[in-house]
Structure 1
Amino acid sequence: MAPATVVSADPAPAATKPTSSTSTKQAATTAGSSNVFHNSTLQDPHTVVAADRHHLILANGQRVLDATGGAAVACIGQSDQRVKQAIAEQLDKVQYCHALFFGNTPSEELANELIDSTGGKMAKVFIVSSGSEAMEAAMKLTRQYFVELSQPQRTQFIARHESYHGITLGALSMGGHKFRRELFKPMLLNNISHVSPCNPYRGKHDGESDEAYVARLARELDDEFQRLGPENVCAFVAEPVVGAALGCVPSVPGYFRAVKSVCDKYGALLIMDEVMCGMGRTGTLHAWQQEDGVVPDIQTIGKGLGAGYMPIAAVMANQKVVDAFNNGTGSFRHGQTYQGHAIASAAALAVQRIIKSDGLLPRAQHLGNILSSVLIERLASHPFVGNIRGRGLFWGIEFVADKKTKEPFDLKEKISMAVHDRGLSTKWNISLFPGTGTADGYKGDHILLAPPYTLTDEEMLDLVHRAVGVVEEEFRERGLV
């Protein structure tokens, strides 16, 4: 987290016990002064007071270029009047109704829009408020699917190491990011196992072809089915392009076709987590639309669905899954207070219609070509850049201490966070997304770039040159180059 000015206050008298929020705040002399439970209890973050298209305006007056849309969220930029109007109009109609008893027009229209965007390959949409909630719902949907099919013994899931599927306990259990799991490991589910990710930079053997690499990963997955008992496995879960955990790593050609074949062989489902990489981020609305014709049985989406205008995410299921419910109990035994929220759905519907009407998918592809070409041109030969990878407007830069051996930096160096902090300096005024654990779940540093789809060519060039400048300066100031 970047340094921020913290206003200290006089402590409460020793004999006086704080009895109000004000006195409690005054007593906090060794920690952040905010009453918000921020990620750091010792230091307050910068405060954003306004936003202007692609810039965040801080309380200190800085205009920071948001090169990552927060966490790959703000894909159409800030303050689009069309989305604001859609929210305002819905406020004048109905704000909330409980999904157990009622439906609402915006959620129905959003579901129609999303199903149409798959060419009818998906059949139903379950709308929630966050990506973690979407993964939790997908897990329960999968479990109940097999109960509906009279296969209640299926309780096992297989996911991948160095993955991230959400922060709630079920979703965290599904993820394979060791550091994020570590503190809560005694509380995590024991019916989820992990296999190797498809990460050619670190996973492929010297001289190994893509075909041989895919075959090896497919064998590993098949072996895990056999170890667990194929009849016990519900699903295999994977991100088409791994986001925060690995820094924008796409699969190699043929990978998803191979793992889908393994799932089909044993009657298990394929779940694709597109919370971060979906909704246009990789150049097609759904990332799976670039995966050799492979369609997931269940898909999670979020972030770019509502572009940050409202909290919203969703689960999508194909007809096979829906038919099991229709031919069984006809009821999904799951529900949430803000499921299908009318205002959130109205905002997301407006965002999706803007992406379509403004031609932002081909725009993302075009801007992605600019971003990737400049990154590769400027940083591919940098002695501490091990790998540059991504797709569309979703790119990662992995840093290494030794380019030949791919040895990561020592954790104490805090490379990715240092790059992030330098970017927030008044010289650069750019927000970059830092990540760690890239190499083994603990060690390994990367930064992630996920710009909005609405930049001009000139703005994209400015953004990528700033990002490159920050990286170059960080290693230069460390005396390493």
Structure 2
Amino acid sequence: MSATIASEATLSSVLHASLGGSPPRIVAARGNYLRTEDGVDILDASGGAAVSCIGHGHPRVIQAIKDQLDAVEYCFSPWFTTAAYERLAKFLTDSTGGVMQKVFVCSSGAEAVEAALKMARQYFMELAEPQPQRTRFIARDRSYHGNTLGSLSVSGHKARRTIYEPMLSQNMTHVSPCFAYRGMKADETDEQYVARLAQELEDEFQRVGSDTVCGFVAETVAGLTLGGVPPVPGYLKAMKAVCDKHGALFILDEVFAGMGRTGTLHAWEQEGVVPHLQTIAKGLGAGYQAVGALLVSKQVVDVLSKGTKAFVHFQTYHGHPLACAAAYEVQQVIKDEGLIENCREMGAYLGELLKERLGSHKHVGDIRGRGLVWGVSIDHSSARYCRGARANECLQIEIVKDRQTKQPFPVTDKIAPTIHATGLRKEFAISLIPGGGVADGTHGDLIVLAPAYNVTKMDVELIVGRAAKAIEHVLGGQRDAKL
């Protein structure tokens, strides 16, 4: 066999993220580690994409999947139900104290967002006096809600939208995110900043026609495109008040932040608001099965119950028994092992260590997060931490070129992807989440940490040590002399 033919024979048939090569091949996963085919144990500090919240290979979840396989592996949910689906849905509605009354289980966060958009439209079509003119949604700049055409349309992340822009819905518009590090003026109080953002949302309702808007869509805690940014106190209440004023729905995307990641099962519990519609996914099934869900409030359920008594939407794999069984057992593990409490404690410790190790680095502008999701943001910015934060909850690392200007590195420098690739090398052996577009949708780099909820103090110390070494290897170890 010629060298050319041999080379072609070894090419992967997988359409990987990069056609220039294959990523490391994982042959085993246990606890907080991923083992590559060449024997390197990589510390999984990212949980994949903030998914593996109870670590890998948990015996209870594996057994639950096996038991479900012995019972019912699949049935079509529009025609049938299963004990697994009913049990998971009951757990989720009970976890909200009943304020969310129904659950639609699907296979991903993007699908949950699609379902939410459709549900919002159907709600207005089934009111006692239907409002068919409501076809629009308002979301936030630099947000991310998924990669399907509908969920990408409502997303505000410029870099991910650009190539598909001509195909995306024109019924979605965007307002500023709640991003104190870059958005709050130097002389503003939290209250003034919130009032300004609320007025911007009010102005957008008026601009597009307040009676044409189905709802406002926001991540309760911003995900990877901003790097775990918690809202300023009072922000979500103010946004919901604007929605209520105009009769629009308040839709919270907790695909990233929900199911315990930020220190409570539902991130909105910390904000004193209840959404009309809520999406969840990543921490729901912890990666053991592909699963997401839409939670529907009593207000919306009541309208449908008086109308068609049906949701005009379904999917081949919605309510999949294996996914429901896995997700339910994941949630029982989280409860039985006290992992939400551990998430709060270890999240605070993680934030402290990150600030100690990287807080004065000349290229670290901000460290922010909540619970067990923390971000290192990379740009040219000053070290101004998130204002209005609860203790130990609002920190991110924004990696910067100049701490005084907040100008981001050019996207062509590929700072965050380089740090990610460096971390995977044997001498660092850590998986980090790279993010981009934090400054303007295109430029501005992030490194995000999202370890499993059951990490120990020793795990946290190891994560910070390895992450810092990878970051310092790429950016140098210089500290800002002005601090």
For the superposition of Structure 1 and Structure 2, which TM-score range results when normalised by the shorter chain? over 0.9
Alpha carbons 2:215, 2:251 under 8 Å: kept: yes
Equivalent of residue 207 in structure 1, options 187, 194, 209: 187
Query: CA shift at 1:472, angstroms?
Result: 1.9
Q: Secondary structure at the match of 1:92?
A: helix
Pairing of 1:4-83 with structure 2 (within 5 A):
10-11=3-4, 28=8, 33-83=11-61
RMSD of aligned residue pairs (Cα, Å): 1.6
1:9 offset after TM fit, Å? Answer: 7.3
Alignment match, 1:289: 269
Using the alignment, how far apart are the partners of 1:426 and 1:41 within structure 2? 23
What do residues 55-84 of structure 1 show as CA deviations (whole Å, max 9, x unaligned)? 000011110000010001000001111001
**Percent of aligned pairs sharing the same letter:** 53
Q: Distance in 1 between matches of 2:123 and 2:34?
A: 44
SS at match of 1:190: coil
Q: Which residue of 1 aligns with 2:76?
A: 98
* 1:257 counterpart = 2:244: no
Contact 2:361–2:480 under 8 Å retained in 1: no
Report the more deviating stretch, 457-466 or 212-221: 457-466
Q: Which residue is 1:456 aligned to?
A: 456
Q: Where do 5+ consecutive residues of structure 2 fail to align?
A: 378-398
**What is the rounded CA distance, in whole Å, between the counterparts of 2:170 and 2:331 in structure 1?**
38
Instruction: Give the counterpart letter for 1:411 in structure 2.
Output: V
The 5 A counterparts of 1:455-474 are: 455-474=455-474
Identify which of 331, 334, 343 aligns with 2:310: 331
Q: 1:218 aligns with which of 198, 207, 228?
A: 198
Deviations 1:122-151 (A, max 9, x none): 100000000111111110000000000111
Q: Give a deviation string over 1:255-289, Cα, whole Å, max 9, x none.
A: 00000000000000010000011110000001101
CA distance in 2, matches of 1:186, 1:27: 38
Tell me if 1:242 matches 2:230. Answer: no
**TM-score scaled by structure 2?**
0.93
Match of 1:388 among 367, 381, 393: 367
Residue 139 of structure 1 corresponds to 117
* Structure 1 residue 11: Cα displacement: 3.6
In the superposition, the TM-score normalised over structure 1's length comes to: 0.93
The answer as to 2:89 corresponding to 1:111 is yes
Pairing 1:304–2:283 present: yes
- Counterpart of 1:18 in structure 2 is none
Q: What secondary structure is seen at the aligned counterpart in 1 of 2:369?
A: strand
Q: Which amino acid in structure 2 is aligned with residue 331 of structure 1?
A: A
Aligned to 1:57, the other structure's residue is in SS state strand
Which residue in 2 is equivalent to 1:197?
Answer: 177
Q: Which residue of 330, 337, 340 corresponds with 1:351?
A: 330
Listed as ranges, the gaps of 5+ residues in structure 1 are: 1-7, 13-25
**Distance in 2, Cα, partners of 1:28 & 1:182:** 33
CA displacement at 1:401 relative to structure 2:
1.3
Distance 1:230 1:480 in 2: 48
Q: Distance in 2 between matches of 1:175 and 1:99?
A: 29
The C-alpha deviation readout for 1:398-448, integer Å capped at 9, x for no partner, is 111111111111222211111111111111100000011010011100111
| Partners of 1:470 and 1:40 in 2: CA distance | 22
- Aligned partner of 1:15 in structure 2 is none
CA distance in 2, matches of 1:153, 1:479: 56
User: What's the CA shift for 1:10?
Assistant: 3.7
Corresponding residue number in structure 2 for 1:363: 342
Whole-angstrom distance in 1 between the partners of 2:71 and 2:153? 40
The amino acid across from 1:327 in the alignment is K
Q: Distance in 2 between matches of 1:226 and 1:479?
A: 48
What residue identity is the alignment partner of 2:232? V
Show CA shifts across 1:297-352 (max 9, x none).
00000011000000000000100000110000111110000010001100000000
Runs of 4+ in structure 1 over 3 Å off = 8-12, 26-29, 477-481
C-alpha distance in structure 2 between counterparts of 1:183 and 1:138, whole Å: 25
1:479, distance to aligned residue in structure 2 (A): 12
Displacement of 1:205 = 0.7
Q: Which moved more, 1:454-463 or 1:167-176?
A: 454-463
Q: 2: CA distance between counterparts of 1:412 and 1:9?
A: 37
Q: After superposition, what is the alpha-carbon deviation per residue over 1:63-111, rounded to whole angstroms, capped at 9, x for unaligned?
A: 0000010001000001111001100111000100001110010010000
Which runs of structure 2 are paired with 1:161-176 in the superposition (5 Å)? Answer: 161-176=141-156
Instruction: Note the alpha carbon deviations across 1:344-368, whole angstroms, 9 max, x for none.
Output: 1000000001111111110100000
Q: Distance in 2 between matches of 1:480 and 1:431?
A: 27
Contact 2:150 2:168 in 1 (8 A): yes
> Which residue of the partner structure matches residue 414 of structure 2?
414
**What secondary structure sits across from 1:403 in the alignment?**
coil
Separation (CA, whole Å) in 1 of partners of 2:411 and 2:146: 23
1:467 deviates by: 1.1
- 3-state SS in 1 of match to 2:57: coil
Task: Work out the CA distance in 1 between the residues paired with 2:292 and 2:310.
Answer: 21
